[in-house]
Amino acid sequence: MKRVMLLSVFAFSTIITLAQNVNWVERNGALKVVGGKILNRKNIEPQLRGISLSWSIWGGKKYYNQDVVNWLKSDFNINLLRVSMAVQPDNGYLQDPIGQEKLITETIDAAIKRNLYVLIDWHDHHADEHLDQSKMFFAKMAKRYAGKPNIIYEIFNEPEKIAWQTVKDYAVQVIAEIRKYDAENVIVVGSPHWDQDIDVVAKDPIKGFSNIAYSFHFYASEPSHQEVLMRRADNAISAGLPIFVTEWGVGEANGDGVFDTSKTNKWFSWMEKNKLSWANWNITDKKETTALLMPGASLKGRWKPEMLSPAGKYIRTKLRNLNK
């Protein structure tokens, strides 16, 4: 009996190890948008699932390193990493373009080395006010990563109280800049009202470019992010709009608040049913509901269970079970 149990444990461990060594980019190849869906080279929805690093300043900055990327791949079993480059706050890209570019490209390169997909996120609520800087940045990224199927460009994180036409006008110019150097890789465009008015976007999507998707964000325990918000997204999906959940959290919209597992499970099931790719917010050790780490967690990964927050344990379990 002991021998049988040992063999079973060994077999299970082997399955987990093999799953965590998957070359996700080799499996799926370059992504594309066809018929309102994000597809892989086999015309199948790959459903990428992963984690978002926090703002590349403040406390989240210290987790932008190769050790953390390696741990997220080998232990959390991510196949997608979101690199959230801060733009407007102090020490962000507007003030320190050289430092921020170096930090994120080193992290992106580490993720590419581990065969992960990477969202390059212009983490800005007012990107329309920084069009020239955005065009310059994404031109550099497109020149550097053209031909790398790992790369996904996220060009406007959470537009605030801005009309869709304003976001669209900005996006068309940035997309055109990227397409000068990278004709194929998927570009994700932000949606108005913190990426919630996805139904508005569905009525007037961008035309004239291929492989364009749109971001949708929610916080699973936020009272205002329940049936009404889910219905907006359902309407957009029904209208044929390709959606990417580039950010979501288990808590409330401020990143803190309640972790309602019932509401979170409902949202999670909704993403799975619709085969939506997603990145969970976020890798930081801030004392906050959506932070995946406990205060003082190692800067090099290798986090023991007690170093994971309730959100961290929940997300880690989901990723290890689903990314196979």
Q: Kind of pairing, strands 187-189 and 117-123?
A: unpaired
249 and 292 Cβ atoms separated by less than 8 Å: no
- The region, left, alpha or beta by phi > 0 then psi within -120 to 50, assigned to residue 7 is alpha
3 state SS of 235? helix
Q: CA-CA distances (angstroms) from residue 275 to 25, 46, 240, 282?
A: 18, 8, 14, 21
**Residue 246, helix vs strand vs coil:** strand
Active site residue 306: no
Half-sphere CA count of 258, side-chain side, radius 13 A = 9
- The angle, 0 to 180 degrees and rounded to 10, between the axes of the packed helices 97-113 and 131-145 is 30
Which entry of 158, 177, 222, 288 is annotated as an active-site residue?
A: 158
DSSP secondary structure of 201-220: HHTS---S-SSEEEEEEEET
Residue type at 147 in one-letter notation: G
Q: Which two tokens stand for residue 98?
A: 């050289």
Q: Which of 154, 177, 222, 247 is catalytic?
A: 247
Q: Tell me if 255 sits within 8 A of 288, measured CB to CB.
A: yes
CA torsion through residues 253, 258, 262, 265, sign: positive
Distance between CA atoms of residues 300 and 291, nearest Å? 16
Place of tokens 């006010």: 129
Among residues 13, 55, 63, the alpha carbon closest in space to that of 307 is found at: 63
Distance separating alpha carbons of residues 239 and 35, to the nearest angstrom: 10
Q: Does residue 158 carry a catalytic annotation? A: yes
Longest dimension (CA), the chain: 68
Which of the residues are catalytic? 158, 247
